[in-house]
Chains A and B, each alone.
Chain A
């Protein structure tokens, strides 16, 4: 129990520290929101004055003259109360941050979340089999292939996929967007099918480049675990191969991978900017980029907070999982 309490206390402390950094780091970037939005207002030979820029920002709830400490306290309060304000960035000026996030988050979770979990599960499974039959056919072919693919730059895989499968009028897959333009989102089979069709290429590209790492670490963990005394004992007891493979070896070999998985799950929320770029897929990664470029403090701090919170929550959950899976952790705690 003390183990869990200590973990929770640590979680709260890290969260506060990370959120404080999230507040100050964007404000240390060069430039300020007024400058960033200036280009937007210079139109048709008209020039925006600094006073006009500040008046505009103030009407969207950003007061450049408020003290940093005041801003910080408001920020903490807003983050905790989910009162996230409106964007002050060039292309999304005045849109509630909550709405922006709500539009992008499901697509990121759907695409990146699913593929991350799939890559982890598939990679782990292949790693288990490959490690178990070290030197076998699967071990000889699959890991090397995927190690090579995981070393390929993502955008290259994606561009090749587009060139082969999504170019021209009769291409089997669409090259951009999350669903056909003009289609109305609904829970109909047609719409869901369309979404899935649009997700195939981006998902496959992520999977191909992400899976190699999981295979390799899992295989290596398996091999070293197979040399442990308790595995030999399990064999001596005459247990079935299957039971030794999953219940004794994989269960232990899996633990180091789990924290890696927790981290990568946390970063799902950060999106994958290259996927979104190449396939014009609406997600949080691209939003991150735009918010940074346009010095959009309200949006930036919420995005940062989401990543921080999910990473920390995932790590916390992973700690709990280890607590359940590994008796040693319980004993120590």
Chain B
């Protein structure tokens, strides 16, 4: 049950996830209406640049209605809305603060222009010029200008603790200047892969608020209790047990938002959060609900769910030579060959999380990059116990010298426990004796980060609009660290100069080149087995259609659907409308 916790932390974090449903049993798309498909998901920027200027607004509807969100926060609201505070930015970015461009990870980075009506890269992609939309007002009535955009980024530059996406340290952003209605950013290097972060994630803040008083003195810790943004909603009011958002009358899209009120209660635990979803008290869920068909779907014909997969759940082997068995290639190959991933998905995850594969590409979300031929010829597409036994024997292990390994996992993540029990069985068949160590979250993290494990189950990273983002975290050598010091994300300590080079080339490649680079990285995943994917982690998402229409669905994946996906939540709120208000 506490696996939920994982999802819940992801919540406040906004761990992104995406894509069209992997699970076969789900959302009947009964948004039977003239709803949104057209607008937001349609406007895609041409490959070499400027996004088309459309408003991204869905078909028009009358205003009215309320949506209540059920998403376990694990704590009462603190009523802070500072978009630079990572604990609360999922409550303000999207609702109140808007990015320049919305980038949809579920549709390979499809773009919807928001505060920037268009943009243009320089030829070497080291500089980008945004044209800022005319006629946008802050919710206090003042006009939003290019000056505000430049101010936001320069504020981040001055105060490194505001730089949540390491734009000035990692992405090589150097200057941001405004002139007229244009904002130009220059980078030290090709910045294409960071577009998603600087254009798609950073919420633009008003200069007239953030350049005076407490906000100017302590922009990183300022509470920002009454956020002034350009987004469709305003906080009105926030109480520890509930945030009420009401429609922003100054919002720049005509007629939007259709929904008048958003209620966001603070749920401490899944129990009440799931109950409220099941009985319709809340209509938009981001919850893990055990036995969801009986506990949620069967309670009301209008209850639906959809779980798009986005990242891998994997066995992370320790590749450091100090861990003899797991640093031996044949052992890792044997494990990868022995696993029956379909079974792990069905028995361990009730099929909610689909089976993963050894290329590390999350399907069907990133099918475009998936090299199914390479997977088939590698033989890892089906479990092969005989081959696994042979590989293990070649590494010097066998019935007379059994291999003992331990795997660390987070205690309370019951679905992981169930998956590991299946894995333990499957590895026993080839002669590996797996010990499962259930550790309290902090101890688990400590061991994982410092490299103090044989195998680790995890790793709970975040994805992005292409597999590059997750794979780079796991496989790029700069994300590793020596055993005993914290590795940022390359916990298995995989160091391969060829793979590093591929990641470095990715930014400058064109679309086809990027696909080819990812496929080459997949080849390394197959030959080196740096980690062993088992299932695909998903976004939990439930929606009720009794009164509300316009939800994202498997067939109309216009945004990542969970309420904790920001700034995607804004797209969902702009598409929703109330049936009863249309009469």
Q: Which residues of A contact B (CB under 8 A)?
A: 29-31, 35-50, 52, 55-56, 58-60, 86-87, 89-95, 99-100, 103-104, 162, 167-169, 175-179, 181-182, 184-185, 276-282, 286-287, 290, 293, 295
B486 touches A39 (CB 8 A): no
B76 touches A104 (CB 8 A): yes
| Chain B positions 256-282 with a Cβ under 8 Å from a chain A Cβ | 263, 265-269, 271-273, 275-276, 279-280
Is B425 on the interface with A (CB-CB < 8 A)? no
B76 touches A93 (CB 8 A): no
Give the docked Cα–Cα distance between A155 and B560 (Å).
35
Which chain B positions have C-beta within 8 A of A277? 268-269, 271
Give the docked Cα–Cα distance between A182 and B245 (Å).
10
Is B390 on the interface with A (CB-CB < 8 A)? no
Closest residue on chain A to residue B240 by CB atoms: A103
Closest residue on chain A to residue B12 by CB atoms: A91
Give the docked Cα–Cα distance between A201 and B14 (Å).
34
B460 touches A39 (CB 8 A): yes
Is B16 on the interface with A (CB-CB < 8 A)? yes
Which chain B positions have C-beta within 8 A of A47? 166, 473, 479, 488-489
B494 to chain A minimum Cβ distance, whole angstroms, is: 15
Summarize B's interface: helix, strand, loop or mixed. Answer: loop
Which chain A positions have C-beta within 8 A of B445? 31, 35-36, 38
11 contacts across the A-B interface (CB closer than 8 A): A35-B442, A43-B15, A43-B164, A43-B165, A46-B164, A47-B488, A91-B78, A176-B276, A181-B241, A279-B272, A280-B269
Give the docked Cα–Cα distance between A56 and B221 (Å).
9
Give the docked Cα–Cα distance between A35 and B450 (Å).
11
Closest residue on chain A to residue B165 by CB atoms: A46
Closest residue on chain A to residue B244 by CB atoms: A182
B279 touches A30 (CB 8 A): no
Give the docked Cα–Cα distance between A86 and B280 (Å).
37
Is B87 on the interface with A (CB-CB < 8 A)? yes
A28 to chain B minimum Cβ distance, whole angstroms, is: 12
Contacts A40-B13, A181-B265, A276-B268; A94 near B221 (Cβ below 8 A): yes
Residue of A31, A38, A87, A181 with highest tally of chain B CB at under 10 A? A181
Closest residue on chain A to residue B468 by CB atoms: A45
Which chain B positions have C-beta within 8 A of A282? 76, 240-241, 266, 268
Is B73 on the interface with A (CB-CB < 8 A)? yes
Contacts A35-B445, A43-B13; A60 near B221 (Cβ below 8 A): yes
A-B contact count (CB 8 A): 197
Give the docked Cα–Cα distance between A91 and B79 (Å).
11
Given contacts A52-B166, A55-B160, A177-B242, 18 further A-B contacts (CB under 8 A): A40-B9, A40-B87, A43-B14, A45-B464, A46-B170, A46-B462, A47-B166, A47-B489, A48-B166, A56-B161, A87-B78, A94-B87, A167-B279, A181-B242, A181-B244, A182-B263, A277-B269, A279-B272
Give the docked Cα–Cα distance between A164 and B298 (Å).
20
Is B396 on the interface with A (CB-CB < 8 A)? no
Contacts A40-B86, A42-B462, A92-B75; A59 near B221 (Cβ below 8 A): yes
Q: Which of A30, A50, A52, A175 contacts B272 (CB 8 A)?
A: A175
B263 touches A181 (CB 8 A): yes
A94 touches B13 (CB 8 A): no
Is B227 on the interface with A (CB-CB < 8 A)? no
Which chain A positions have C-beta within 8 A of B267? 176, 280
A31 touches B473 (CB 8 A): no
B568 to chain A minimum Cβ distance, whole angstroms, is: 11
Is B551 on the interface with A (CB-CB < 8 A)? no
Is B510 on the interface with A (CB-CB < 8 A)? no
Is B440 on the interface with A (CB-CB < 8 A)? yes
Give the docked Cα–Cα distance between A313 and B418 (Å).
47
Give the docked Cα–Cα distance between A47 and B440 (Å).
23
A45 touches B446 (CB 8 A): no
Closest residue on chain B to residue A41 by CB atoms: B86
A169 to chain B minimum Cβ distance, whole angstroms, is: 7
Is B502 on the interface with A (CB-CB < 8 A)? no
Give the docked Cα–Cα distance between A56 and B84 (Å).
10
A93 touches B87 (CB 8 A): yes
Closest residue on chain A to residue B478 by CB atoms: A47
A197 to chain B minimum Cβ distance, whole angstroms, is: 15
The 9 closest A-B pairs by CB, nearest first: A45-B469, A31-B442, A45-B464, A93-B87, A176-B272, A181-B242, A280-B272, A95-B78, A40-B86
B189 to chain A minimum Cβ distance, whole angstroms, is: 16
Which chain A positions have C-beta within 8 A of B273? 280
Is B344 on the interface with A (CB-CB < 8 A)? no
Which chain B positions have C-beta within 8 A of A103? 76, 240
Which chain A positions have C-beta within 8 A of B241? 177-179, 181, 282
Closest residue on chain B to residue A57 by CB atoms: B161
Which chain B positions have C-beta within 8 A of A87? 78
Give the docked Cα–Cα distance between A93 and B78 (Å).
9
B488 touches A49 (CB 8 A): yes
Contacts A31-B445, A55-B160; A48 near B268 (Cβ below 8 A): no
Is B190 on the interface with A (CB-CB < 8 A)? no
Contacts A42-B462, A44-B197; A290 near B469 (Cβ below 8 A): no
Give the docked Cα–Cα distance between A87 and B12 (Å).
16
B82 touches A91 (CB 8 A): no
Q: Which of B68, B78, B239, B469 contacts A100 (CB 8 A)?
A: B78
Contacts A168-B279, A282-B266; A92 near B16 (Cβ below 8 A): no
Is B283 on the interface with A (CB-CB < 8 A)? no
B449 touches A35 (CB 8 A): yes
B164 touches A86 (CB 8 A): no
Is B394 on the interface with A (CB-CB < 8 A)? no
B16 touches A43 (CB 8 A): yes
Q: Which of A40, A49, A182, A185 contacts B12 (CB 8 A)?
A: A40
B75 touches A286 (CB 8 A): yes
Give the docked Cα–Cα distance between A31 and B439 (Å).
12
